[in-house]
Amino acid sequence: MQSSEILPHLFRNEYTKIVSVLCKHIGFERLETAEEIASETFLTAAETWGIKGTPQNPTAWLYAVAKNKAKNYLQKNSVFQNKILPELTKSQQEPTGSEIDLSPENIYDSQLRMMFAVCHPSISSEAQVGLSLRILCGFGIEEIADAFLTNKETINKRLFRAKEKLREEKIAIQLPGAEEIEDRLDPVLSTIYLLFNEGYYSISQNKTLRKDLCLEAIRLCSMLVENKITDKPQVYALLALMCFHTSRFEARQDENGEQILYQDQDTDLWNHDLIVKGEIFLNKAASGIRLTKYHLEAGIAYWHTRKEDTKEKWENILQLYNRLLQLQYSPIAALNRTYALSKANGKEEAILEAEKLNLKDNHFYFALLGELYLDINRFKSEENFRKALSLAKTSHDKISIQKKIDQFSK
Protein backbone atom coordinates (compact mmCIF):
# COMPACT_ATOMS: atom_id res chain seq x y z
CA MET A 1 0.00 0.00 0.00
CA GLN A 2 1.35 3.44 -0.96
CA SER A 3 1.90 6.15 1.68
CA SER A 4 -0.83 8.21 0.02
CA GLU A 5 -3.26 5.35 0.73
CA ILE A 6 -2.10 4.30 4.18
CA LEU A 7 -1.80 7.78 5.71
CA PRO A 8 -5.55 8.63 5.70
CA HIS A 9 -6.25 5.30 7.41
CA LEU A 10 -3.54 5.91 10.01
CA PHE A 11 -4.72 9.47 10.56
CA ARG A 12 -8.23 8.31 11.44
CA ASN A 13 -6.89 5.66 13.83
CA GLU A 14 -3.75 7.19 15.34
CA TYR A 15 -4.33 10.96 15.37
CA THR A 16 -6.91 10.69 18.14
CA LYS A 17 -4.66 8.42 20.21
CA ILE A 18 -1.71 10.82 20.00
CA VAL A 19 -3.88 13.82 20.91
CA SER A 20 -5.46 12.04 23.88
CA VAL A 21 -2.13 10.86 25.30
CA LEU A 22 -0.53 14.29 24.89
CA CYS A 23 -3.49 16.03 26.52
CA LYS A 24 -3.35 13.64 29.45
CA HIS A 25 0.35 14.48 29.69
CA ILE A 26 0.27 18.28 29.36
CA GLY A 27 -3.32 19.16 30.28
CA PHE A 28 -6.52 19.95 28.41
CA GLU A 29 -5.65 23.66 28.32
CA ARG A 30 -2.91 22.67 25.84
CA LEU A 31 -5.34 20.85 23.52
CA GLU A 32 -4.40 22.99 20.50
CA THR A 33 -0.74 22.21 21.11
CA ALA A 34 -1.50 18.48 21.24
CA GLU A 35 -3.48 18.75 18.00
CA GLU A 36 -0.67 20.74 16.38
CA ILE A 37 1.95 18.17 17.38
CA ALA A 38 -0.21 15.35 16.05
CA SER A 39 -0.88 17.21 12.79
CA GLU A 40 2.83 18.02 12.33
CA THR A 41 3.63 14.35 12.90
CA PHE A 42 1.44 13.34 9.98
CA LEU A 43 2.76 16.19 7.83
CA THR A 44 6.30 14.93 8.49
CA ALA A 45 5.17 11.42 7.57
CA ALA A 46 3.67 12.62 4.29
CA GLU A 47 6.86 14.46 3.37
CA THR A 48 9.27 11.71 4.49
CA TRP A 49 7.38 8.68 3.26
CA GLY A 50 6.82 10.30 -0.10
CA ILE A 51 10.61 10.34 -0.59
CA LYS A 52 11.87 7.34 1.38
CA GLY A 53 8.80 5.12 1.23
CA THR A 54 6.56 3.80 3.99
CA PRO A 55 8.50 2.42 6.99
CA GLN A 56 8.17 -1.21 8.00
CA ASN A 57 6.16 -0.26 11.10
CA PRO A 58 4.30 2.97 10.22
CA THR A 59 2.51 3.25 13.58
CA ALA A 60 5.72 2.93 15.61
CA TRP A 61 7.34 5.52 13.32
CA LEU A 62 4.49 7.96 13.96
CA TYR A 63 4.67 7.44 17.72
CA ALA A 64 8.43 8.01 17.76
CA VAL A 65 8.10 11.27 15.80
CA ALA A 66 5.20 12.43 17.99
CA LYS A 67 7.25 11.76 21.13
CA ASN A 68 10.22 13.73 19.78
CA LYS A 69 8.07 16.67 18.72
CA ALA A 70 6.36 16.71 22.14
CA LYS A 71 9.72 16.61 23.94
CA ASN A 72 11.04 19.45 21.78
CA TYR A 73 7.96 21.50 22.56
CA LEU A 74 8.30 20.94 26.30
CA GLN A 75 11.99 21.79 26.28
CA LYS A 76 11.52 25.00 24.33
CA ASN A 77 8.49 26.20 26.23
CA SER A 78 10.05 27.83 29.28
CA VAL A 79 6.71 29.40 30.27
CA PHE A 80 5.25 25.94 30.57
CA GLN A 81 8.17 24.67 32.60
CA ASN A 82 8.37 27.65 34.97
CA LYS A 83 4.75 28.70 35.48
CA ILE A 84 2.29 26.03 34.40
CA LEU A 85 4.09 22.90 35.53
CA PRO A 86 3.68 23.65 39.27
CA GLU A 87 -0.06 24.14 38.75
CA LEU A 88 -0.34 20.88 36.86
CA THR A 89 1.48 19.10 39.65
CA LYS A 90 -1.01 20.52 42.15
CA SER A 91 -3.90 19.17 40.10
CA GLN A 92 -2.25 15.73 39.96
CA GLN A 93 -1.52 15.83 36.24
CA GLU A 94 1.37 13.64 35.13
CA PRO A 95 4.74 15.43 35.37
CA THR A 96 6.06 16.49 32.00
CA GLY A 97 9.51 15.13 32.78
CA SER A 98 8.20 11.56 32.58
CA GLU A 99 8.36 9.57 29.37
CA ILE A 100 5.45 10.15 26.99
CA ASP A 101 3.75 6.77 27.11
CA LEU A 102 2.13 5.58 23.86
CA SER A 103 1.59 2.02 25.03
CA PRO A 104 -1.81 0.43 24.19
CA GLU A 105 -2.79 0.56 27.86
CA ASN A 106 -2.05 4.27 28.23
CA ILE A 107 -3.69 5.10 24.90
CA TYR A 108 -6.86 3.34 26.03
CA ASP A 109 -6.80 5.08 29.41
CA SER A 110 -6.14 8.49 27.81
CA GLN A 111 -9.01 8.13 25.33
CA LEU A 112 -11.40 7.01 28.04
CA ARG A 113 -10.47 10.02 30.17
CA MET A 114 -10.79 12.31 27.15
CA MET A 115 -14.28 10.95 26.49
CA PHE A 116 -15.47 12.25 29.86
CA ALA A 117 -13.68 15.57 29.33
CA VAL A 118 -15.26 16.40 25.95
CA CYS A 119 -18.68 15.15 27.13
CA HIS A 120 -18.69 17.45 30.14
CA PRO A 121 -22.17 18.85 30.89
CA SER A 122 -20.81 22.42 30.86
CA ILE A 123 -21.04 22.45 27.03
CA SER A 124 -24.02 21.80 24.76
CA SER A 125 -24.83 18.31 23.50
CA GLU A 126 -24.21 19.50 19.94
CA ALA A 127 -20.71 20.68 20.91
CA GLN A 128 -20.07 17.40 22.73
CA VAL A 129 -20.83 15.44 19.57
CA GLY A 130 -18.67 17.78 17.46
CA LEU A 131 -15.70 17.52 19.83
CA SER A 132 -16.09 13.76 20.02
CA LEU A 133 -16.00 13.48 16.24
CA ARG A 134 -12.88 15.65 16.07
CA ILE A 135 -10.86 14.56 19.12
CA LEU A 136 -12.04 11.01 19.77
CA CYS A 137 -12.85 9.83 16.24
CA GLY A 138 -10.38 11.78 14.09
CA PHE A 139 -12.97 13.24 11.71
CA GLY A 140 -11.91 16.26 9.68
CA ILE A 141 -13.78 19.56 9.88
CA GLU A 142 -15.29 19.00 6.44
CA GLU A 143 -16.57 15.56 7.45
CA ILE A 144 -18.11 16.97 10.63
CA ALA A 145 -19.75 19.75 8.63
CA ASP A 146 -21.17 17.12 6.28
CA ALA A 147 -22.50 15.09 9.20
CA PHE A 148 -24.25 18.16 10.65
CA LEU A 149 -25.33 19.39 7.21
CA THR A 150 -23.63 22.74 7.76
CA ASN A 151 -20.42 24.52 6.70
CA LYS A 152 -16.83 24.34 7.97
CA GLU A 153 -16.90 27.87 9.40
CA THR A 154 -19.85 27.03 11.64
CA ILE A 155 -18.15 23.86 12.87
CA ASN A 156 -14.87 25.66 13.56
CA LYS A 157 -16.65 28.31 15.62
CA ARG A 158 -18.65 25.70 17.52
CA LEU A 159 -15.56 23.68 18.40
CA PHE A 160 -13.59 26.79 19.37
CA ARG A 161 -16.32 27.95 21.77
CA ALA A 162 -16.58 24.48 23.29
CA LYS A 163 -12.83 24.23 23.87
CA GLU A 164 -12.77 27.70 25.44
CA LYS A 165 -15.62 26.75 27.76
CA LEU A 166 -13.86 23.58 28.88
CA ARG A 167 -10.68 25.56 29.53
CA GLU A 168 -12.57 28.16 31.55
CA GLU A 169 -14.16 25.41 33.62
CA LYS A 170 -10.69 23.88 34.14
CA ILE A 171 -11.96 20.46 33.15
CA ALA A 172 -9.44 17.78 34.08
CA ILE A 173 -8.74 14.78 31.87
CA GLN A 174 -9.64 12.08 34.35
CA LEU A 175 -12.27 9.48 35.09
CA PRO A 176 -14.99 10.49 37.56
CA GLY A 177 -14.95 8.96 41.00
CA ALA A 178 -17.27 6.10 41.94
CA GLU A 179 -19.67 8.50 43.69
CA GLU A 180 -20.32 10.54 40.54
CA ILE A 181 -19.84 7.99 37.75
CA GLU A 182 -23.58 7.42 37.21
CA ASP A 183 -24.31 11.13 36.71
CA ARG A 184 -21.26 11.70 34.52
CA LEU A 185 -22.06 8.65 32.39
CA ASP A 186 -25.38 10.13 31.29
CA PRO A 187 -23.97 12.92 29.06
CA VAL A 188 -21.33 10.51 27.69
CA LEU A 189 -24.00 8.01 26.67
CA SER A 190 -26.19 10.80 25.29
CA THR A 191 -23.28 11.98 23.13
CA ILE A 192 -22.61 8.47 21.82
CA TYR A 193 -26.35 8.02 21.18
CA LEU A 194 -26.54 11.31 19.26
CA LEU A 195 -23.38 10.44 17.34
CA PHE A 196 -24.92 7.14 16.30
CA ASN A 197 -28.18 8.81 15.30
CA GLU A 198 -26.26 11.33 13.17
CA GLY A 199 -25.12 8.34 11.15
CA TYR A 200 -28.15 6.08 11.23
CA TYR A 201 -30.89 8.63 10.70
CA SER A 202 -28.94 11.37 8.91
CA ILE A 203 -30.39 12.80 5.70
CA SER A 204 -26.84 13.14 4.36
CA GLN A 205 -26.39 10.98 1.27
CA ASN A 206 -22.75 10.16 2.08
CA LYS A 207 -23.34 6.51 2.93
CA THR A 208 -19.68 5.83 3.81
CA LEU A 209 -19.62 8.72 6.29
CA ARG A 210 -22.93 7.68 7.80
CA LYS A 211 -21.70 4.14 8.40
CA ASP A 212 -18.41 5.44 9.83
CA LEU A 213 -20.35 7.52 12.35
CA CYS A 214 -22.26 4.45 13.52
CA LEU A 215 -19.12 2.34 13.82
CA GLU A 216 -17.30 5.08 15.76
CA ALA A 217 -20.20 5.31 18.21
CA ILE A 218 -20.01 1.54 18.72
CA ARG A 219 -16.24 1.77 19.26
CA LEU A 220 -16.58 4.47 21.92
CA CYS A 221 -19.32 2.55 23.72
CA SER A 222 -17.21 -0.62 23.56
CA MET A 223 -14.44 1.24 25.41
CA LEU A 224 -16.88 1.94 28.24
CA VAL A 225 -17.91 -1.70 28.69
CA GLU A 226 -14.26 -2.76 28.75
CA ASN A 227 -13.62 -0.68 31.88
CA LYS A 228 -14.81 -1.97 35.27
CA ILE A 229 -15.73 1.56 36.39
CA THR A 230 -17.99 2.27 33.40
CA ASP A 231 -19.40 -1.16 32.43
CA LYS A 232 -22.88 -0.29 33.68
CA PRO A 233 -26.16 -1.92 32.50
CA GLN A 234 -27.21 1.21 30.58
CA VAL A 235 -23.91 1.12 28.66
CA TYR A 236 -24.55 -2.49 27.60
CA ALA A 237 -28.10 -1.52 26.63
CA LEU A 238 -26.90 1.29 24.36
CA LEU A 239 -24.28 -0.97 22.80
CA ALA A 240 -26.93 -3.64 22.15
CA LEU A 241 -29.23 -1.03 20.59
CA MET A 242 -26.50 0.15 18.20
CA CYS A 243 -25.50 -3.40 17.25
CA PHE A 244 -29.10 -4.32 16.39
CA HIS A 245 -29.61 -1.19 14.30
CA THR A 246 -26.27 -1.47 12.50
CA SER A 247 -27.00 -5.10 11.66
CA ARG A 248 -29.69 -3.87 9.23
CA PHE A 249 -27.64 -0.98 7.81
CA GLU A 250 -26.96 -2.54 4.40
CA ALA A 251 -30.62 -3.47 3.91
CA ARG A 252 -32.01 0.03 4.56
CA GLN A 253 -31.02 1.58 1.22
CA ASP A 254 -30.90 0.31 -2.35
CA GLU A 255 -28.02 0.86 -4.77
CA ASN A 256 -29.43 4.30 -5.65
CA GLY A 257 -29.49 5.42 -2.03
CA GLU A 258 -33.29 5.22 -1.74
CA GLN A 259 -34.79 4.22 1.61
CA ILE A 260 -36.13 0.66 1.82
CA LEU A 261 -39.03 0.27 4.23
CA TYR A 262 -38.62 -2.30 6.98
CA GLN A 263 -41.18 -4.72 5.56
CA ASP A 264 -39.41 -4.65 2.18
CA GLN A 265 -35.85 -5.23 3.42
CA ASP A 266 -33.83 -8.20 2.22
CA THR A 267 -33.20 -10.05 5.48
CA ASP A 268 -30.27 -11.90 3.89
CA LEU A 269 -28.41 -8.57 4.03
CA TRP A 270 -28.79 -8.35 7.81
CA ASN A 271 -25.52 -8.88 9.69
CA HIS A 272 -26.05 -11.99 11.83
CA ASP A 273 -22.80 -11.51 13.81
CA LEU A 274 -23.90 -8.06 14.98
CA ILE A 275 -27.31 -9.43 15.96
CA VAL A 276 -25.65 -12.11 18.11
CA LYS A 277 -23.40 -9.50 19.73
CA GLY A 278 -26.44 -7.34 20.40
CA GLU A 279 -28.18 -10.25 22.13
CA ILE A 280 -25.16 -10.84 24.37
CA PHE A 281 -25.00 -7.16 25.34
CA LEU A 282 -28.76 -7.01 25.92
CA ASN A 283 -28.53 -9.94 28.34
CA LYS A 284 -25.73 -8.15 30.22
CA ALA A 285 -27.89 -5.01 30.37
CA ALA A 286 -30.54 -6.90 32.34
CA SER A 287 -28.64 -6.52 35.63
CA GLY A 288 -29.32 -3.60 37.93
CA ILE A 289 -32.55 -1.87 38.91
CA ARG A 290 -32.52 1.22 36.68
CA LEU A 291 -34.59 1.03 33.48
CA THR A 292 -33.40 3.49 30.82
CA LYS A 293 -34.59 4.44 27.36
CA TYR A 294 -31.62 2.50 26.00
CA HIS A 295 -32.99 -0.72 27.52
CA LEU A 296 -36.41 -0.19 25.94
CA GLU A 297 -35.08 0.95 22.55
CA ALA A 298 -32.69 -2.00 22.52
CA GLY A 299 -35.63 -4.31 23.17
CA ILE A 300 -37.55 -2.75 20.29
CA ALA A 301 -34.51 -3.07 18.02
CA TYR A 302 -34.05 -6.69 19.09
CA TRP A 303 -37.57 -7.63 17.99
CA HIS A 304 -36.97 -5.89 14.67
CA THR A 305 -34.14 -8.36 14.03
CA ARG A 306 -36.61 -11.24 14.28
CA LYS A 307 -37.43 -12.19 10.70
CA GLU A 308 -40.80 -13.82 11.46
CA ASP A 309 -43.73 -11.42 11.01
CA THR A 310 -45.80 -12.73 13.94
CA LYS A 311 -48.42 -11.11 16.14
CA GLU A 312 -46.29 -11.90 19.20
CA LYS A 313 -43.39 -9.93 17.72
CA TRP A 314 -45.48 -6.80 17.13
CA GLU A 315 -47.29 -7.03 20.46
CA ASN A 316 -43.91 -7.10 22.22
CA ILE A 317 -42.73 -4.10 20.20
CA LEU A 318 -45.96 -2.25 20.97
CA GLN A 319 -45.65 -2.85 24.73
CA LEU A 320 -42.03 -1.68 24.69
CA TYR A 321 -43.08 1.51 22.89
CA ASN A 322 -45.80 2.06 25.49
CA ARG A 323 -43.24 1.87 28.30
CA LEU A 324 -40.77 4.04 26.39
CA LEU A 325 -43.36 6.80 25.92
CA GLN A 326 -44.20 6.68 29.61
CA LEU A 327 -40.52 6.96 30.50
CA GLN A 328 -39.60 9.67 27.99
CA TYR A 329 -42.18 10.94 25.50
CA SER A 330 -41.06 11.63 21.95
CA PRO A 331 -43.30 12.45 18.96
CA ILE A 332 -41.11 10.30 16.69
CA ALA A 333 -41.33 7.35 19.09
CA ALA A 334 -45.09 7.86 19.22
CA LEU A 335 -45.18 7.86 15.41
CA ASN A 336 -43.13 4.66 15.24
CA ARG A 337 -45.48 3.12 17.80
CA THR A 338 -48.42 3.56 15.45
CA TYR A 339 -46.75 1.29 12.88
CA ALA A 340 -46.33 -1.40 15.51
CA LEU A 341 -49.95 -0.81 16.52
CA SER A 342 -51.08 -1.38 12.92
CA LYS A 343 -49.26 -4.72 12.84
CA ALA A 344 -50.56 -5.83 16.23
CA ASN A 345 -54.15 -4.48 16.26
CA GLY A 346 -54.95 -3.47 12.70
CA LYS A 347 -54.65 -0.36 10.51
CA GLU A 348 -57.95 1.24 11.51
CA GLU A 349 -56.88 1.58 15.15
CA ALA A 350 -53.43 2.75 14.08
CA ILE A 351 -54.89 5.50 11.86
CA LEU A 352 -56.93 6.86 14.76
CA GLU A 353 -53.85 6.97 16.98
CA ALA A 354 -51.61 8.41 14.27
CA GLU A 355 -53.98 11.27 13.40
CA LYS A 356 -54.06 12.32 17.06
CA LEU A 357 -50.33 13.10 16.78
CA ASN A 358 -50.97 15.75 14.13
CA LEU A 359 -47.30 16.01 13.11
CA LYS A 360 -48.02 18.23 10.14
CA ASP A 361 -44.40 19.33 9.63
CA ASN A 362 -43.06 15.78 9.40
CA HIS A 363 -43.06 14.01 6.04
CA PHE A 364 -42.71 10.60 7.75
CA TYR A 365 -46.05 11.26 9.45
CA PHE A 366 -47.85 11.69 6.14
CA ALA A 367 -45.90 8.84 4.54
CA LEU A 368 -47.04 6.50 7.32
CA LEU A 369 -50.64 7.64 6.95
CA GLY A 370 -50.32 7.02 3.22
CA GLU A 371 -49.25 3.43 3.92
CA LEU A 372 -51.97 2.87 6.53
CA TYR A 373 -54.74 4.17 4.27
CA LEU A 374 -53.51 2.26 1.21
CA ASP A 375 -55.95 -0.66 1.48
CA ILE A 376 -58.68 1.36 3.23
CA ASN A 377 -59.12 4.65 1.34
CA ARG A 378 -56.99 5.15 -1.77
CA PHE A 379 -57.97 8.81 -2.07
CA LYS A 380 -56.73 9.59 1.45
CA SER A 381 -53.67 7.43 0.87
CA GLU A 382 -52.65 9.43 -2.21
CA GLU A 383 -53.48 12.71 -0.48
CA ASN A 384 -51.13 11.86 2.40
CA PHE A 385 -48.35 10.71 0.10
CA ARG A 386 -48.58 14.02 -1.78
CA LYS A 387 -48.31 15.94 1.50
CA ALA A 388 -45.30 13.80 2.39
CA LEU A 389 -43.73 14.61 -0.98
CA SER A 390 -44.12 18.35 -0.39
CA LEU A 391 -42.27 18.07 2.95
CA ALA A 392 -39.54 15.58 1.98
CA LYS A 393 -36.03 17.06 2.26
CA THR A 394 -33.85 14.74 0.20
CA SER A 395 -34.03 13.77 -3.46
CA HIS A 396 -34.00 10.09 -2.54
CA ASP A 397 -36.97 10.47 -0.19
CA LYS A 398 -38.83 12.39 -2.88
CA ILE A 399 -38.14 9.68 -5.45
CA SER A 400 -39.38 6.97 -3.08
CA ILE A 401 -42.59 8.85 -2.28
CA GLN A 402 -43.19 9.73 -5.93
CA LYS A 403 -43.06 6.02 -6.78
CA LYS A 404 -45.87 5.48 -4.28
CA ILE A 405 -47.92 8.24 -5.88
CA ASP A 406 -47.29 6.89 -9.39
CA GLN A 407 -48.97 3.61 -8.41
CA PHE A 408 -52.32 5.39 -8.12
CA SER A 409 -52.35 6.22 -11.83
CA LYS A 410 -51.83 2.62 -12.93
Is residue 249 within 8 A of residue 211, CB to CB? The reply is yes
Give the count of domains, the chain: 3
* Residue 80 sits in the same domain as residue 158: no
Task: Evaluate if residue 78 carries a pLDDT over 60.
Answer: no
Q: Which of 177, 200, 219 marks a domain boundary?
A: 219
Q: At 393, is the pLDDT very low, low, confident or very high (cuts 50, 70, 90)?
A: confident
Give pLDDT, residue 88.
42
User: Mean of the pLDDT values across residues 136-145?
Assistant: 88
Note whether residue 276 is domain-resident.
Answer: no
Mean pLDDT of 207-233: 90
Which residues, at least 6 apart from 334, have a Cβ–Cβ distance to it below 8 Å? 321, 325, 357
CA distance 294 to 286: 11
Distance of CA 103 to the CA centre of its chain: 26
Say if 323 falls within a structural domain: no
| Domain final residue pick, 219, 244, 265 | 219
| Angle at 60 (CA atoms; ends 23, 208), nearest 5 degrees | 75
64 and 118 together in one domain: no
CB 328 within 8 A of CB 315: no
Residue 72 has pLDDT above 50, yes or no: yes
pLDDT at residue 296 is higher than 70: yes
Q: Is residue 313 part of a domain?
A: no
- On whether both 61 and 137 belong to a single domain, the answer is no
The answer to whether residues 79 and 6 belong to one domain is yes
In a domain, 366, yes or no: yes
Mean pLDDT score of the chain: 88
Among candidate residues 325, 318, 327, the one with its CA nearest the CA of residue 234? 327
CA distance 110 to 90: 19
Contacts for 206 with CB less than 8 Å, ≥ 6 apart: 146
Q: Does residue 84 form part of some domain?
A: yes
pLDDT at 90: 43
**Residue 386 pLDDT more than 90?**
yes
Above 70 in pLDDT, residue 80? no
Structural domain ending residue among the three candidates 219, 251, 273: 219
Same domain, 136 and 123: yes
Asked whether residue 79 falls in the same domain as residue 145, the answer is no
- The pLDDT assigned to 344 comes to 95
Domain ranges, residue 198: 104-219
Of 102, 84, 103, whose CA–CA distance to 93 is shortest? 84
91 & 125 share domain: no
Mean pLDDT of the region 165-182:
88
Q: What is the pLDDT of residue 138?
A: 86
